[in-house]
């Protein structure tokens, strides 16, 4: 039997992760050791016993076998949270493809130990009666300082050090003497920065409506019975999903367990977090990208030490080091941002379900527009499906949706941005002092510049995309930031007839101002939300009625109730710009439904106007009816016919390289290896290699192969084989290869 070796890390801070030590696994321990196991090893010259974590097992020695020491034993402290996270990293590595170090850096909290703020306290160490006696004695013997301090400590058993020394004027020698006598102690108590500065009264829970109550009761009952399932909560916009999550979290806290709530970064507003804070108080901690490193670290430590029981945050909050995880909630589970864009390209939903299984926790996925994947799982019985069909707050109702055919408008000579219907409704709302939101899709509709003589669009020199016209005569690349001044002549043919096409948010803003000069307008896009709190500021300004019209590119505006918004206009609901992506219809449906859900949140009924060139497309007609089931039926039919996920599993092999030819050769080799080695594999379908649909971004040329199979396991096998194949080949040092399973983006 061959020997087994274990890669072990002694120190789990990020900086030390690259320092891996190899040890031999003694035969009698072989069944007890796997990634994540905490072991005791002899370390350094003196063979000092140290704790370490196994991150990998293998049969090959990295250096002279005779010099490799053996693991002494498995740590008797049992499985720690770090061990569990390391096991999770191992699974992520295997499932999505990455190095173990990349996976570990994903799951372990960054160890930037910056100096924590701490406060020192003087604490009473004696039982009350003895302290009373000591106080009386000190008073009798005229030890004034001592008496002052003890009297104070009899009232509150700890007082801040500064208060003791300054206000009570107790000298340091006195404090030291009392400490030596064991009457008091000086303790440093960590003070965790509270990034929200939330405080104040907790609010009692809202009385749940019948639908919400059913969900909460069923969840609580099954949880108490020890069932740990994955639930899909499909609730229309405004149906009170958040309120329902909170009731479920309550049930979990009652069992002494902890909960992670994932919310897309963009929806992680002050308003949303406040709702959790008002319900659960200091038990809540949060995570988001705008926190400083120190703040993030503090939050993670609060979670690890059990001082907080609920973590709210975006994708990365999934790796909160809770020792007693009981529930993971994923709100807006359909959102793209749950898929990591960098290696390992994991999906938070899948990792959440795996972590939950590992640690005996339940999972609740929630959405008004569930992903086709999750809904399929629910229909197959893998997830338990709950529905909320009614809006929760009294009087709030679903909006009326109007579809406008832009082709008809054109035929009737209307070339403006606003159809007659939308134009009239905007005027109507302005007159009534009600508010309006106007949305346009970010991609494809930003203004690009092209030449009327030769037809060439002006492209970024570093990326295979058109530049976008910005105010002040600048052209900007939305992929790499490259800027040039607007040229006077076409760079291709020298013709002066060049102009802007399509419409960006800035253009919409100026058109709105021209058409409706009386309206106060706010704009929200990449350019206006660059600063730390600008996103919040714009939304609260709008919600406070400081503007009549909000123009936005981000359709999903959660966490704010715009009670006075009674009209939502979608300027161009087109799908063509997502042509390279099999999820384009799904995304269109989600955006329209979420946008429509913004209207009529208050007492007043709302209208939604969808302007489109594809009025018959099912993603638009079903969104207009707010009929998710109908949409799903159409969509799953289309995926069946074309063999897309979730019916067929898909893996993208992506090669990025600064030299086109090298990249092409590198992916060519993978294509050949794949076809040769998996020739006999039934049902494996390989498309490519080919140039990606955007052939270059930031001077990196992009090549892809698509691989499909009914089973994910087969695709993972293909990935593993190719990873091995690449191991000792020089070309892959230059050409960067990544894998993306069931991608959320087009390539």
- Token look-up 């799904």 returns 586
Rounded to 5 degrees, φ, ψ at 550 are -110, 125
- Which does residue 453 bind out of Zn ion, ligand ADP, none, counting CB within 5 to 8 angstroms by kind? Zn ion
Residue 626 within binding range of ligand ADP, rule CB under 6 A: no
Instruction: Pick from 241, 347, 349, 639 the residue near ligand ADP by CB under 6 A.
Output: 241
Report, in Å, the least distance between residue 48 CB and Zn ion: 53
- Compute the least distance from the CB of residue 280 to ligand ADP, in Å: 15
Residue 208 interacts with ligand ADP (CB under 6 A): yes or no: yes
* Cα distances (angstroms) measured from residue 734 to each of 272, 671, 674, 701, 724: 45, 17, 20, 12, 17
Q: Could you say which of ligand ADP, Zn ion, none residue 352 binds, taking C-beta under 5 to 8 angstroms by partner kind? A: none
- Residue 28 token pair: 């009698």
How far does Cα 32 stand from its chain's mean position? 35
**Residue 242: which of Zn ion, ligand ADP, none does it interact with, CB under 5 to 8 A by kind?**
ligand ADP
Shortest spacing between CB 703 and ligand ADP, in angstroms: 42
Relative to beta strand 498-501, strand 448-451 is antiparallel
Contact with ligand ADP (CB under 6 A) among 527, 561, 627, 658: 561
Q: Which does 433 bind (CB under 5 to 8 A by kind): ligand ADP, Zn ion, none?
A: none
- Residue 235 interacts with ligand ADP (CB under 6 A): yes or no: yes
Q: With CB under 6 A as the contact rule, which of the stretches 16-24, 120-128, 234-242, 724-732 interacts with ligand ADP?
A: 234-242
Q: Under the criterion CB under 6 A, does residue 400 sit at the interface with ligand ADP?
A: no
Q: Choosing among Zn ion, ligand ADP, none, which partner's interface includes residue 243 (Cβ < 5 to 8 Å by kind)?
A: ligand ADP
Residue nearest to ligand ADP (CB): 240
State the minimum distance, in angstroms, from the CB of residue 442 to ligand ADP.
22
Q: Is 267 in the site for ligand ADP (CB under 6 A)?
A: no
**Minimal distance in Å, beta carbon 333 to ligand ADP?**
12
CB of 493 to ligand ADP, least distance (A): 52
Find the binder of ligand ADP among 165, 271, 393, 453 (CB under 6 A). Answer: 393
> What's the rounded Cα separation, in Å, for the pair 170 and 726?
70
Q: How far lies 136's CA from each of 124, 132, 178, 523, in Å?
A: 16, 6, 15, 70
Residue 239 makes contact with ligand ADP by CB under 6 A: yes
Q: What is the spatial distance between Cα 260 and Cα 322, in angstroms, rounded to a whole number?
A: 9
Distance, CA of 690 to CA of 730 (rounded, Å): 22
Choose the contact partner of 477 out of ligand ADP, Zn ion, none; CB within 5 to 8 A by kind: Zn ion
Q: Which of 106, 212, 419, 619 binds ligand ADP (CB under 6 A)?
A: 212
Cα 541 to Cα 552: distance, rounded to the nearest angstrom: 14
Q: Does 240 bind ligand ADP (CB under 6 A)?
A: yes
- CA 14 to CA 443: how far, in whole Å? 36
SS3 283: helix
| Closest C-alpha among 28, 101, 35, 111 to residue 71 | 28
C-beta closer to ligand ADP: residue 243 or 298: 243
Counting contacts by CB under 6 A, is residue 387 touching ligand ADP?
Answer: no
Q: Cβ contacts of residue 234 below 8 Å, gap of 6+? A: 366, 367, 368, 370, 375, 378, 385, 386, 387, 388, 628
Q: What is the DSSP letter of 336?
A: G
Least distance to ligand ADP from the beta carbon of 561, Å? Answer: 5
Tell me how far apart the alpha carbons of residues 333 and 328 are, in angstroms, rounded to a whole number: 12
Shortest CB 395 distance to Zn ion, Å: 49
Whole-number Å distance between alpha carbons of 458 and 465: 9
158 vs 478, beta carbon nearer Zn ion: 478
Q: Out of 301, 392, 399, 705, point to the residue binding ligand ADP (CB under 6 A).
A: 392
Closer to ligand ADP by CB, 52 or 366: give it. 366
**Nearer of residues 598 and 702 to ligand ADP, judged by Cβ:** 598
Cα 497 to Cα 638: distance, rounded to the nearest angstrom: 43
Q: How many residues bind ligand ADP (CB under 6 A)?
A: 16
Measure the CA dihedral 551/556/558/564, to 10°. Answer: 40
**Nearest Cα to Cα of residue 259 among 190, 353, 213, 322:** 322
Would strands 118-124 and 565-570 be described as parallel, antiparallel, or unpaired?
A: unpaired
Which residues are at the interface with Zn ion (CB under 5 A)?
A: 451, 453-454, 460, 462-463, 477, 479-480, 482, 490, 492-493, 495
Q: Considering the rule CB under 6 A, would residue 279 count as an interface residue with ligand ADP?
A: no
Would you tell me which residues interact with ligand ADP (CB under 6 A)? 206-209, 212, 235, 237-243, 392-393, 561
């Amino acid at each position: 039997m061959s020997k087994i070796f274990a890669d072990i890390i002694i120190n789990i801070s990020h900086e030390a992760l690259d320092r891996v030590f190899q040890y031999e696994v003694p035969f009698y321990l072989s069944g007890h050791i796997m990634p994540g196991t905490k072991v005791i090893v002899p370390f350094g010259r003196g063979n000092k016993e140290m704790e370490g974590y196994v991150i990998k097992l293998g049969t090959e020695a990295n250096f002279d076998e005779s010099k490799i020491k053996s693991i002494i034993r498995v740590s008797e402290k049992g499985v720690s949270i770090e061990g569990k996270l390391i096991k999770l990293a191992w699974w992520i590595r295997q499932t999505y493809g990455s190095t173990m170090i990349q996976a570990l850096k994903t799951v372990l909290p960054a160890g930037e130990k910056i100096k924590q703020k701490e406060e020192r306290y003087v604490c009473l160490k004696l039982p009350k009666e003895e302290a009373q006696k000591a106080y009386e004695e000190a008073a009798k013997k005229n030890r004034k300082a001592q008496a002052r301090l003890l009297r104070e400590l009899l009232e509150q058993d700890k007082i801040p050090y500064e208060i003791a020394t300054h206000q009570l004027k107790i000298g340091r020698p006195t404090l030291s003497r009392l400490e030596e006598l064991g009457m008091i102690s000086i303790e440093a108590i960590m003070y965790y920065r509270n990034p929200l500065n939330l405080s104040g009264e907790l609010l009692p829970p809202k009385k749940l409506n019948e639908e919400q109550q059913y969900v909460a009761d069923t969840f609580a009952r099954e949880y108490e019975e020890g069932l740990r399932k994955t639930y899909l909560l499909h609730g229309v916009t405004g149906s009170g999903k958040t309120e329902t999550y909170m009731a479920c979290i309550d049930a979990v806290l009652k069992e002494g367990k902890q909960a992670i709530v994932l919310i897309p970064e963009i929806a992680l507003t002050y308003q949303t977090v406040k709702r959790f804070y008002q319900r659960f108080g200091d038990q809540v901690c949060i995570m988001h990208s705008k926190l400083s490193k120190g703040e993030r670290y503090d939050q993670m430590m609060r979670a690890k030490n059990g001082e907080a029981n609920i973590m709210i945050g975006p994708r990365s909050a999934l790796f909160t080091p809770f020792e007693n995880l009981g529930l993971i909630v994923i709100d807006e589970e359909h959102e793209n941002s749950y898929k990591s864009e960098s290696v390992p390209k994991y999906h938070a939903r899948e990792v959440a379900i795996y972590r939950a299984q590992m640690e005996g926790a339940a999972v609740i996925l929630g959405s008004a527009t569930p992903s086709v994947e999750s809904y399929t799982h629910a229909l197959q019985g893998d997830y338990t499906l709950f529905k909320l069909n009614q809006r929760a707050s009294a009087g709030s109702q679903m909006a009326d949706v109007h579809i406008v055919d832009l082709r008809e408008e054109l035929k009737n000579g209307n070339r403006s941005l606003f159809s007659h219907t939308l134009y009239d409704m905007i005027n109507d709302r302005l007159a009534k002092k009600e508010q309006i939101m106007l949305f346009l899709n970010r991609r494809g509709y930003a203004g690009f510049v092209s030449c009327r003589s030769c037809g060439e669009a002006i492209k970024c020199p570093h990326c295979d995309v058109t530049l976008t016209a910005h105010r002040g005569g600048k052209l900007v690349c939305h992929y790499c930031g490259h800027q040039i001044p607007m040229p006077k002549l076409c760079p291709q043919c020298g013709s002066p007839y060049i102009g802007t096409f399509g419409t960006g948010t800035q253009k919409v803003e100026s058109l709105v101002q021209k058409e409706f000069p009386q309206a106060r307008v706010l704009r929200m896009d990449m350019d206006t939300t660059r600063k730390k709190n600008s996103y919040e500021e714009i939304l609260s300004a709008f919600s406070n009625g400081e503007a009549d019209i909000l123009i936005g590119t981000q359709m999903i505006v959660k966490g704010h109730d715009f009670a006075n918004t009674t009209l939502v206009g979608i300027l161009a609901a087109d799908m063509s710009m997502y042509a390279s992506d099999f999820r384009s219809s799904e995304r269109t449906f989600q955006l329209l439904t979420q946008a429509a859900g913004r209207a009529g949140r208050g007492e007043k009924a709302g209208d939604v106007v969808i302007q489109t060139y594809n009025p018959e497309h099912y993603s638009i007609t079903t969104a207009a009816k707010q009929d998710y089931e109908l949409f799903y039926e159409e969509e799953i039919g289309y995926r069946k016919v074309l063999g897309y996920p979730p019916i067929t599993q898909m893996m993208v092999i992506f090669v990025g390289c600064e030299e086109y030819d090298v990249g092409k050769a590198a992916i060519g080799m993978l294509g050949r290896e794949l076809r040769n080695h998996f020739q006999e594999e039934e049902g494996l379908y390989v498309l490519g290699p080919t140039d990606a649909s955007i052939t270059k971004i930031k001077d990196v040329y992009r090549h892809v192969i698509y691989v499909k199979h009914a089973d994910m396991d087969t695709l993972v096998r293909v990935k593993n084989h190719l990873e091995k194949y690449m191991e000792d080949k020089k070309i892959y040092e230059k050409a960067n290869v990544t894998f993306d399973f069931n991608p959320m983006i087009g390539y």
